[in-house]
Each structure stands twice: as C-alpha cells, then as structure tokens.
Amino acid sequence: MTKKQRYNAVLQWFEQNMPIAESELVFHNEYELLVAVMLSAQCTDKRVNMVTPKLFEQYPTPQALAQASEEEIFQIIRSISYPNAKSKHLKGMAEKLISDYQGQVPNTVEALQTLPGVGRKTANVVCAVAWNQPTMAVDTHIFRVSERIGLTTHSKNPLQTEKTLIQFSLNTKKTRIHQHLIPKAHHWLLLHGRYICQARKPKCEQCGIKQWCASAEE
C-alpha cells in the first residue's frame, strides 16, 4: 500500500465514523480563537479552557487586551505554561491587530505570522478553524501519528509533515473533496493521537484505522 492509498483510506474511515471533528478549545469569535490557540502552545486544551472565560470577560476585544498590562494578563493566565512569554505575546498581538489590521484578525497564514507569538502552526489552526481553509497544522500528536501509521517516513520536522499531507490532498482527481477535508483531517489526526494513538501506550485494540497502520504490519 502506498502512502497516498493509506491516506485516502484513513480519511475515508474518519469521514464515515467521525463526521464531526472540532477543536476542543472554547471560543466564540476569531479573536477568542486566536488567543486560545496561542495559550494552548505546550499546554492542554482543558487547562486553557479553565483560564479563558475570565480572560475574555475582562478583555473581550483586542482593544481591551491591548490596554491591559502584561502583569494584569499574567495574573489571569499564570496557571498556563510559559505565562510570562504568553502575557507579552498576547499584549503585543492585540496592539498589532489594532495598528496594522483595524482590530480584526487577519485571515491568511502569512499575515497571522506577523503577529507576536504567532508561528506557522498557530496560524494554520486559526485559518482552518475560523475560515475552513485547507491548512494543516502539525503538532506533536499529528507528527507522531503520521509517522507511526505510515503517512510519512522519517519526516524531519512538522513543516515537512505538513507539506506531505497537503500534497496527498492536492495530487488526486478528487482534489476539491480532499481540500475540503484538510481542516477536518487536522482534528481527526490530532484527536486520534490524543486519545487513541498515544505516545507511550497506544490503544491499538480501540483503533479503527489499524488495518491501514504501517506499524501494525510490522
């Protein structure tokens, strides 16, 4: 089985068995999504969701967040990983939204990456979730799952994995369908890695895609 055949089979299984795949972060608009994704770096969604209600209540807009001090932001997000850096980035992000984007979250990966604290993965997540764009954010779960089940082989970094997975979707007669599935594919692979194909003890007996898993063939 080729990697492309495996990719198509895996996507088809997820589409049939997990038609609804969404972010576990709680948000109500693009601004809240961006903040939540920034906070989720090296932190669990569960922990982020414990912090964001108070943060969004006090700073419901980029304008409000930009006026806050880093210390005020820190006091709210102190239980999040790397709170000092994230406090600085959140304030800087809000200020740049106001100065460069009229207070609106930009809708391209390139523009999002001009914001403090926003890297390619964060930008990809925001574009996929907020606007259903065909972007593939590769986190540790997706990187691991892609290698383990055989969608990639000896991928050197998340960017290489991202390009490989996107390429599978573009090189097909069903390009439009597959492009539409890319945002969902991000969630499918992420959730599969988070709950089933875990790093130390993968739950292979509960895995619905094990028939296409390269590791299961070994």
207: confidence class by pLDDT, cuts 50, 70, 90: very high
pLDDT score of 120: 94
Q: Which residues contact 87 (CB under 8 A, 6 or more apart)?
A: 70, 71, 73, 74, 77
Annotated catalytic residue within 45, 139, 163, 203: 139
Annotated catalytic residue within 121, 163, 201, 203: 121
Q: Is 139 one of the annotated active-site residues of the chain?
A: yes
pLDDT more than 90, % of the chain: 78
pLDDT digits (tens, 9 = 90+) for 114-142: 999 999 999 999 999 999 998 999 999 99
pLDDT score of 21: 84
Q: Is 88 one of the annotated active-site residues of the chain?
A: no
Q: List domains and CATH numbers for the chain.
A: 3-22+135-217 (1.10.1670.10), 30-131 (1.10.340.30)
Go through 163-181 and write b for each residue having 16 or more CB atoms within 10 A of its CB, e for each that does not.
ebbbebbeeeeeeeebeeb
